[in-house]
Chain A
């Protein structure tokens, strides 16, 4: 799609570059909390309405007879500069909405997988998804009160992660902690990108 004609309007301010990071993990693990901790606004909610028959429907005028499902995604925004805006999207918790994930993951520069050591298996589908897609990700263990503390190498082993995948502890409620998770992800994504470039050239 060519948007060139609409961007050449004389005197109009140029639009910023927007980039996207996904915040994934099981239900109730603190995805929206983390988004809210670093976002400049309170997390916003956007919804996709899906019909049972799904993709390929052009005319929904007879939609009353079909089952519709609403998938909600919470997101936040960090304005880095006049030309650069970072968006954080919490992924829908239910596995049956993978096709929404595909849209979310498209163009995402990376993902944070939030894990809860009391329900470690909840984050397995997210890890599998990003591994399969080749999306750079980090695992951040949200430190809930009362949860047994695990060593990071134990977590890494339990999740059977590639040794290159950063694993860290975080407190999703704390702005500094959430920010550090995002910085670790961006550094990891940048390294992954460089390694892939070298692979192509070499």
Chain B
């Protein structure tokens, strides 16, 4: 989770504050990520403990890196930041271009999962 000494910017986008700017202002008017395709359940993991010192990044970028210290789906990132998924995709594209996150597409990236995945999920659900 985020460290104690969060920058002031971080606190602007925590759960309680809600969005402080319109979604497209966050992305500088961009509707498409510079790189990558981000399914709702693509998994995101930060590659660094924080992105505070990076130039050209906004508080939302920093917040995503902080949140993705534990791997999260794109949908969870959007829910956590209380931003639309389209906006989060743009921000993730910026982070991916800087190698600040790594991203895994759903289903291991190979289309329909194989039988072992179905069996693992069924067994996992039975154990709930």
Residues on A lying within 8 angstroms of B by beta carbon are: 1, 3, 6-7, 9, 12-13, 15-20, 38, 44-49, 57-61, 63, 70, 73, 75, 77-78, 80-81, 84-87, 89, 103-104, 106-107, 109, 175, 179, 182-183, 186-187, 189-190, 193-194
Give residues of chain B (30-72) contacting chain A, Cβ–Cβ below 8 Å: 30-32, 35-37, 39-43, 45, 47, 71
A70 / chain B contacts, CB cutoff of 8 Å: 84
Taking the nearest CB of chain B, how far is it from the CB of A36, in angstroms?
14
| A189-B75 CB under 8 A given contacts A3-B103, A18-B42 | no
By beta carbon, the residue of chain B nearest A43 is B79
Q: Are A84 and B102 in contact (CB under 8 A)?
A: no
> For the complex, is B113 an interface residue (Cβ under 8 Å from A)?
yes
Number of residues on chain B facing chain A (CB within 8 A): 51
A7 to B30, CA, bound (A): 27
18 of the cross-chain contacts (CB-CB < 8 Å) are A1-B35, A1-B37, A1-B105, A7-B104, A12-B102, A15-B43, A18-B41, A19-B121, A38-B125, A57-B31, A81-B120, A84-B117, A85-B73, A86-B121, A87-B73, A104-B40, A106-B39, A109-B113
Taking the nearest CB of chain A, how far is it from the CB of B69, in angstroms?
11
Taking the nearest CB of chain A, how far is it from the CB of B73, in angstroms?
6
